[in-house]
Structure 1
Amino acid sequence: MSSAETLTPAADARTERRAKRIAKHLTAFSKQHGGSADGVVEYVGQAATRIVVVGADGSWGDQVAPSYAVGRRAAELAGITLHDSFEGELGLKVRTGPYEWKRMAGIQLGG
């Protein structure tokens, strides 16, 4: 029996409400950055999942969801094209700016 089959109706409704709330943010991001977005849903740990999205213009952002089911459902509701990983084609779409380069250099240099 999968975890999806063991959800109670109340838990299922709670998952849907949480997903809809997160989907609003993802939809707004998509509209603001070219009208569409690609993304990936990644486990952060037992208590969280990260939804990383890349807009059509290369801008990227993320949202944290309380579970993988909520994160995946939120991405589906927002019309995000989901990928299996943040490699290859999806990674190439990301446009980084001065902030990211400065931050990455600071981490490399121990800053």
Structure 2
Amino acid sequence: MSSAETATPAATDARAERRAKRIAKNISSFAKQHGGTAEGVVEYVGRTATRIVMVGADGAWGDQVAPTYAVGQRAAELAGMKLHASFEGELALRVKTGAYEWKRMAGIQLGG
């Protein structure tokens, strides 16, 4: 039996909460560095990961990866991050991209 099979539900919940708190600290740090607030979305990446995309008050963006959707949502909640249903419209328009992103996007388009 693996340790995951022998773990009690309480132990699993405690581990998920610790992960959420660790990710929430990163989200809070990002928000503090970028205008004091962050908004974003929690998106499935696959069966084993979730991506939290954050947009700071200054338009900077970043992301964090959580092991599950529930942990991602809990981390955003603990950090006080306003969640949106999708990364579209007003939220997407607030993102400010720099020279690095434009150069990277051009390189991808040109096969580089």
TM bracket, shorter-chain basis: over 0.9
Q: What is the SS of the residue equivalent to 2:42?
A: strand
Which portions of structure 1, spanning 4 or more consecutive aligned residues, are displaced by more than 4 angstroms?
A: none
RMSD, aligned CA: 1.0
Normalised TM-score (structure 2): 0.91
The answer to whether the aligner puts 1:109 opposite 2:97 as a matched pair is no
The answer to whether the aligner puts 1:53 opposite 2:54 as a matched pair is yes
- Provide the rounded CA distance (Å) in 2 between the counterparts of 1:99 and 1:78: 28
**Residue of structure 1 equivalent to 2:34:** 33
Q: Which amino acid aligns with 1:18?
A: R
Structure with more helix by fraction: 2
Identity over aligned residues, as a percent? Answer: 76
> How many positions carry a matched residue from both structures?
105
- Provide the rounded CA distance (Å) in 2 between the counterparts of 1:28 and 1:54: 12
Offset, 1:44: 0.4
5 Å-filtered alignment, 1:87-102, equals 87-102=88-103
Q: Identify unmatched segments of 5+ residues in structure 1.
A: 1-6
Normalised TM-score (structure 1): 0.92
